[in-house]
Structure 1
């Protein structure tokens, strides 16, 4: 039996035009894997399935239409709804050395000696790079998620290991 988990892949934005197209606020690193014509997504808390009738990019933003929502009026009722998909819990990203947020959140954080210093609480996707938010004794610390600072990610062992960089988890004061 393959365990599946539900992950959020997008949020329905405002209508685009009069033919039932909507903008999608993409919440996945792999939109080409999640948003395909004929693909099925789950609507918000209801979990009701909805089928993608069309998928296209417009000026760097995703625009889709749904089967059964033929016009602007019909699709406007969905504005603000989160879109989810059920995926195998063991699914990995397409590229090596990439991780889904859900795989990193909750991992123990070890210092360069292997001592536990905290836990990953969130992955922030900032313009320059991704950043791990780490809880260190109840205080938030941010560490850029780059191999020079986080050289080891061991999902099987349940931890990330930080590089030997002075002040990496220290408070500025």
Structure 2
């Protein structure tokens, strides 16, 4: 089970279920009825719209010949990955506001918004519009933006 879990960590268990059903040439509707579940429930799970419950996990594991709890563990890892993705999204400014052209000389998707804050703030203060500057203030805070701006003025001798 360890190899299976490691292989599919973070993937919705419904996608794995869909793959297994295709591999075994099982239809969702008849399978759902044989498990005493609604076909819509199984369909929603395979589309990633619904999670696997403990009760259904036991039934699916048995039918698929998996170790007991496999589908539920996959569901837990999926939920953990979903939460991590939410947290990572919160670790960046709203990228729909910042124009990629401001960072023309770097890979926009690889910018580390936390550690490269000085460069990011300087760049946006120099070339950004008011919406982009406001997004920096929202994300980094007024104090940090002011501090970077003041240090930039001191070092260059000119106003940015």
What is the TM-score with the length of structure 2 in the denominator?
A: 0.27
Instruction: Name the one with the larger strand percent.
Output: 1
What is the TM-score with the length of structure 1 in the denominator?
A: 0.26
